[in-house]
Every structure is written in structure tokens, then in C-alpha cells.
Chains A and B, each alone.
Chain A
Amino acid sequence: GAVVSQHPSWVICKSGTSVKIECRSLDFQATTMFWYRQFPKQSLMLMATSNEGSKATYEQGVEKDKFLINHASLTLSTLTVTSAHPEDSSFYICSASFQDINSPLHFGNGTRLTVT
């Protein structure tokens, strides 16, 4: 079946540095990928919708200059957390739809970011 691969699975970085997270659709082309963030004991919050070949659409309250999203190909989207701070520590999860949004989303394994 369809698989979404996310890398790295965990990362620890120092405050002020940038971290890049990759999300790949392994056996299908994903024109749209979604980036979620999840804090402990909370639900998934949609951060942005990543569209291949165009700018990402960010949800209200998400800083687009801090969370840079690039969707350069039909199988790869990246999220870069710039100038990370401890409050950015969270579980970041990407997802992709095989067809359209009414089709089930397939999730990557997530990236646990810890900013010290």
C-alpha cells in the first residue's frame, strides 16, 4: 500500500539553529502534503498545506517565515524550522493523500523535535 516516509524520526538541536524535516511519498505521487504538529496530550494541529510547485498555505497563527515549507517534487515536501526555540519542541507529522482530501490521509512516522 501507499507509504509516507518521514526523516529524521527524532532530532535534538540547540536553540537558534534550524532543522529540516523531509517527507516522501514512496509509491505514489502526492500533489498535496500536509504538515501537522502535536504537543503532548493534544490533538494534531494542521500547520500548513504543501502544494507541489506552489507556495504552501499556512493555517492562522502559524508563522510562514519560521516554518519554511518546500514541495519541490510530487514525492518530496520539506519543513524547515528556522531559529528553533524550546517552545518549538513538538511532534511534527507529515501526511499525504493518495487522491484527494476525501481520500484517507497516510501519515509519516513523525519527527520528535527537541530544542535545548
Chain B
Amino acid sequence: QKEVEQNSGPLSVPEGAIASLNCTYSDRGSQSFFWYRQYSGKSPELIMFIYSNGDKEDGRFTAQLNKASQYVSLLIRDSQPSDSATYLCAVGRGGKLIFGQGTELSVKP
């Protein structure tokens, strides 16, 4: 089992729809959770981080964390073509940040 797992996609949604990206992790001791966006050929950029169970909203983005289920998700409302990218889930563990394989999102105009 991989430490951090994501559906590789691609996930395709129409413009204006809600995109839902999911991530599971194996280490129950993980304390910090991050979502990064990566455009092709570029380095990752931070979208959101969440530390506590529940929802955290920032503009069109909502991160959801359920530590009991070892599950973290990212919702993107009103998806735009510019949101098309690979979304990386990352989990803090033992002083390191472990990344999932990423989910490719495609927002169709």
C-alpha cells in the first residue's frame, strides 16, 4: 500500500462544475495535509493546507479532512479551464512531506 494514494485520473469536468479530488493516507500519525497544484513543466504551488478534522474553505477551494477515515479531499467550485492541472496531495510524516501520485484534472470549456 502506498503511503499517499490518489486516483491518477484524468478527471474531466465541464466549466462551472465542481471538481472533487480525493486522497487517502496510510499513517494514522500524520498531522498535516496539503494540496498542491502543478502545471506541466512547472514546480508545485500550494493551494491549501489543513490540520484539523472538518472543512476549510478558501475562495473556490474547500479542503476536507477526516482523520478517522484517513481521507482528505479537495473541492473546486465553479471550475475554470485554468484549473486544468495535476493536483498533488501531500502528507506530513516524521519531518517529511510525502506526495501522492497526483490527479490530472481537465476542465472543459
Point out residues on A near B: beta carbons under 8 Å: 6, 32, 34, 36, 42-46, 49, 91, 93, 95, 101-110, 112
A102-B32, A109-B43 in contact; A49/B88 too (CB < 8 A)?
Answer: no
Question: How close is A26's CB to chain B, nearest CB, in angstroms?
Answer: 15
Residues 86-108 of B, flagged 1 when their CB comes within 8 A of A and 0 if not, give 00101010011111111000000
Most buried by A among B49, B88, B97: B97
* Cross-chain contact of A34 among B32, B42, B97, B100 (Cβ < 8 A): B97
Judge whether A43 and B99 touch: CB under 8 Å: yes
How long is the Cα–Cα vector from A65 to B102 in the complex, in angstroms? 30
Tell yes or no: B34 within 8 A of A by CB.
Answer: yes
- The reply to whether A102 and B51 contact each other, CB–CB distance below 8 Å, is yes
User: Which residues from chain B contact A105 at a C-beta distance below 8 Å?
Assistant: 34, 46, 90, 97
B7 to chain A, nearest CB (A): 13
Q: Apart from A42-B101, A44-B99, A104-B49, what are 7 other A-B pairs with CB-CB below 8 Å?
A: A43-B100, A44-B44, A93-B43, A95-B97, A103-B32, A110-B43, A112-B41
Question: Which residues of B in the span 19-57 have a Cβ within 8 Å of any Cβ on A?
Answer: 31-32, 34, 41-46, 49, 51
A43–B101 touching, CB < 8 Å: yes
- Which chain B residues numbered 68 to 101 have a C-beta less than 8 Å away from chain A? 88, 90, 92, 95-101
Which residue of chain A lies nearest to B89 when distances are taken between CB atoms in the complex? A43
In this complex, what residue of B is CB-closest to A4? B43
- In contact, A46 and B98 (Cβ under 8 angstroms): yes
Shortest distance from the beta carbon of B100 to any chain A beta carbon, whole Å:
6
> Nearest Cβ in chain B — how far from A8, in angstroms?
14
Docked Cα-Cα span, A93 to B36, in Å, equals 14
C-alpha spacing A112/B41, complex, angstroms: 9
What is the chain A residue whose CB lies nearest that of B2?
A: A43
Evaluate contact between B43 and A46: CB separation under 8 angstroms. no
Q: When the two chains form their complex, are residues B31 and A110 in contact, meaning their CB atoms are under 8 A apart? A: no
Report Cα–Cα, A32/B75, bound state, in Å.
Answer: 31
Q: B32–A107 contact, CB under 8 A?
A: no
